[in-house]
Amino acid sequence: MRFQVRAATILAAAAAVAALAVLAASATAGPSGRWTQITHAHNGAKSNLGLARAKNGTLHVFWAGPVRGPFSAISDTPISPAGGVGKPQAVVAGWNSVQPPAAVAAPDGSIHVVISGQKVNSNTDPYAGLNEAVGPGTWRLGARAFGKYQITVPSNADVATAALESGQLVSVWRSAVTLLFQTGVDPSTQPQDITPQGLAESPVIAVDQGSGEAIIAFRNASSGADFFRRVAPSVGALQAMPQAKTGAPSIAARSSGGVYSAYALDGTNVRLLRFGGQAKSVPVPKGARVLTAGVAAGPDGRLWVFYGNEQTTYVTRTSKAVAGFEPVQTLKSPPGTVQYFRLEGEGSAGPLDLFADVTVDGKTKDGSYHQQVHPVLSLRASKKLVKSKQGEVTGVRVTVRVTDAGDAVQGARVTGLPGGPKTTNAGGSIVVTARPGKSLALTATKAGYVAAKGRLSL
């Protein structure tokens, strides 16, 4: 017989000759976390943050401020690999206007921030448009803005950016009623008009780590539907996201190849869709209400998927092959949330740095809030009675397997076994012999994970 239970749930199978009992234990929620406010304004359903992780593991969070709009500064708030939020540092300050920024880490470790804005209120301002700031540490600003299209200057643009393998930026933005794309940051380069029929808004972009293609996602302003589109090395046909009508799409480039989006469907379901592929259902707890969903790349080909509402936020992570999911973790949304617009995240280092863009009081408590979420272990244990030649039961063979979304976890420490704690092998397994009649309280732990617990009666 086979049984599956959540963390700390007990199941026992009746003992019989050659009988098999299986226990699966996994966590439904991590340790109660704390949300930390990063910004003092949100951007509705659109991206509010630029996120880029440095080679030392620090996540740099870029945002427009200093408080509510109109904005005059772009700040960089560092978050340590352990989730500690540092003090913000200015990237630019004292400008006439800036918009929420985009950011990307280049292959050489440099971080590039793209800022739509205007330094001074003048028709001759060389910084009117899209500006590249390069860091971290001392931020170096280009001498002139880029992105001018015909007579349009993108100083009030909704911009997103990514980096090619060469380190060259690829950026997409909406300026007035035009959707534009540009490779590089040369002010003399004319952006490419890629506006679809029905116009486009809320564009995002990612570079496929396998093919090197740049892929965008956007919302069609006329129909409200979401679409993918390849924009480099050549512009391809639109690819509809089945039944997706989000306020603004999400996008992530999987480390092992593929570009994905996650979106809410009919308020109760979530889909994970690969560009050029088929949509996959994401596990959603029964009765959960889903207002928005997002996706972020994790290590080893994994993807973080997150979704929720103003009361509850849900998080899960895929296997390396995106074939399965970890148990869904349940978090309380930021305290006092009355409107829940967008979830953003960065999970390339292992844990997920999650950001919820919310309204709390319509004043200084609105904005983006951060919490770090760790992946969840799952534990499965089977038992088989051992008999003598005379048919007497002489022991119980217990096999424990620890996994992460179905992938074996080596080096997990399992306590509650006869003979003391033991560590899983390359297959994620431990095999021991126990005496009949005992009950084992098992706990699997590994640094960086939420533990899995369960009991097995022998």
pLDDT tens track of the chain, all 458 residues? 333 333 333 223 333 333 333 343 333 333 347 999 999 988 888 899 999 999 999 999 999 999 988 999 999 999 999 999 999 999 999 999 999 999 999 999 999 999 999 999 998 999 999 999 999 989 999 999 999 987 677 889 999 999 999 999 999 999 888 999 999 999 999 999 999 999 999 999 999 999 999 999 999 999 999 999 999 999 999 999 999 888 899 999 999 999 999 999 999 999 999 999 999 999 999 999 999 999 999 999 999 999 999 999 999 999 999 999 999 999 999 999 999 999 999 999 999 999 999 999 999 899 999 999 999 999 999 999 988 888 888 889 999 999 999 999 999 999 999 999 999 999 999 999 998 888 899 999 999 999 999 889 88
> What is the C-alpha to C-alpha distance for residues 78 and 94, in angstroms, rounded to an integer?
21
Among the listed residues 225, 261, 214, the one whose alpha carbon sits nearest the alpha carbon of residue 104: 214
Instruction: List the Cα angle 235/241/246 in 5-degree steps.
Output: 110
DSSP code string of 383-433: EEEEE-TTS-EEEEEEEEEEEETTEE-TT-EEESSTTS-EE--TTSEEEEE
Cα distances (angstroms) measured from residue 289 to each of 264, 311, 312: 10, 9, 9
Kindly list the domain boundaries of the chain, sorted by start residue: 20-27+377-457, 36-373
Same topology, domains 20-27+377-457 and 36-373? Answer is no
Token pair of 264, please?
Answer: 């809410």
Q: How far is CA 123 from the centre of its chain?
A: 40
**Residue 339's beta-bridge partner residues?**
359
Q: Which CATH class is domain 36-373?
A: mainly beta
Burial-class residue 8 by CB neighbours within 10 Å (0-12, 13-18, 19+). middle
User: In CATH, what number does 20-27+377-457 get?
Assistant: 2.60.40
Helix and strand totals (H; E) in the chain: 0, 38
Q: Which residue has the tokens 């950001």?
A: 355
> What is the C-alpha to C-alpha distance for residues 165 and 257, in angstroms, rounded to an integer?
13
> What is the C-alpha to C-alpha distance for residues 279 and 261, in angstroms, rounded to an integer?
9
Name 320's Cβ contacts closer than 8 Å, sequence gap at least 6: 256, 300, 301, 302, 407
> What is the C-alpha to C-alpha distance for residues 450 and 251, in angstroms, rounded to an integer?
26
